[in-house]
Amino acid sequence: MQTKLKQLAEHLGADLVGFCQLPSPPVKQFPNGVYAVSVAVKLSDAILNTIENQPSFGYFQHYRTANTLLDQIAFRLAREIEKNGYNALPVAASQSLGKNNPYAGLISHKTAAVLSGLGFVGKSGLFLSEKYGSKVRLATVITDMPLANELPIIENGCGECQLCQRACPAGAIYGITPTTDGERNFDPEKCSRYMKEHFQDIGRGSVCGICIKVCPKNKL
C-alpha cells in the first residue's frame, strides 16, 4: 500500500514522499491516527531568484500555488487511504489554529518529514530536504493505516554555517541548531511582525523567502 500511495502522490505532483509512525496522536479526536504520510513539492528556482533583499510578488503567488497543490495531493491520498478501509486526516500545507496559536497547526509538517527521513530542520527553522534543501513546501496526512519508515533519520547538517541568521532582516533566527527539548531557535512572531511592518503590500506581509534563498543546502 505504501508503494501505491507513493506512486499516487508522485503522479499528482509530489517531489518527495515519506512515511512514519508518530510518537503520539497529534489530533485528540483521532486517537488511532499515529501514522503519517509526508509529502513535499519543490519550489521553482527561477521564482526563488526573484527574491533579493525582500519578498517578491512572484514568490507569494508561487507559495500559494504550491500550498494548493499540496492540499490537493493530501486530499487525494486521504481518500485513497479511506477507500482501503482506514481513516485519514489531510492537514493543509499552510496551517493556523487561530489567533491564540497562529503559528501552529494540527501537526508540525516538519516533524513528520523529519521522522519520515526526508531531511532535517535547519538553524533557520526551515525544513531542509536531503534532495532539494529548503526549496520545498510540505503537507501531511495523518492516518490509522500502519505505515513504516523507509528511510533513515537525517541529523542536522548546518555545521558552522550562519548564513540564514545573517541574512534575516528581522533578526528572527538565533543561529543555533534545533534541539529536541523545545528550545526555540527561531522567533515566528518577530518574523511575522517584521514582514507585516515592511512588506504588507507584498504577500500581505505573510511570506518572505530570504532564509530559503540564502541556504547553501539548496540543490537543483
For position 48 contacting ligand SF4 by CB under 6 A, the verdict is: no
For position 170 contacting ligand SF4 by CB under 6 A, the verdict is: yes
Q: Which is nearer to ligand SF4, 34 or 191 (CB)?
A: 191
> What single-letter amino acid sits at 219?
K
Of 84-92, 104-112, 140-148, 155-163, the segment contacting ligand SF4 by CB under 6 A is 155-163
Q: What residues have CB less than 8 Å from 201, skipping those under 6 apart? A: none
b/e burial code for range 126-148 (CB count within 10 A of at least 16 → b): bbbbeebbbbbbbbbbbbbbebe
Q: Residue length, the chain? A: 220
* Phi and psi torsions of 136, nearest 5°: -135, 160
161, 174, 176, 219: which one binds ligand SF4 (CB under 6 A) = 161
For position 111 contacting ligand SF4 by CB under 6 A, the verdict is: no
C-alpha closest to that of 208 among 198, 219, 218: 198
For position 163 contacting ligand SF4 by CB under 6 A, the verdict is: yes
User: Going residue by residue from 113 to 152, which x/- string records binding to ligand SF4, judged by CB under 6 A?
Assistant: ---------xxx---x------------------------
For position 176 contacting ligand SF4 by CB under 6 A, the verdict is: no
C-alpha closest to that of 61 among 204, 213, 220: 204
For position 168 contacting ligand SF4 by CB under 6 A, the verdict is: yes
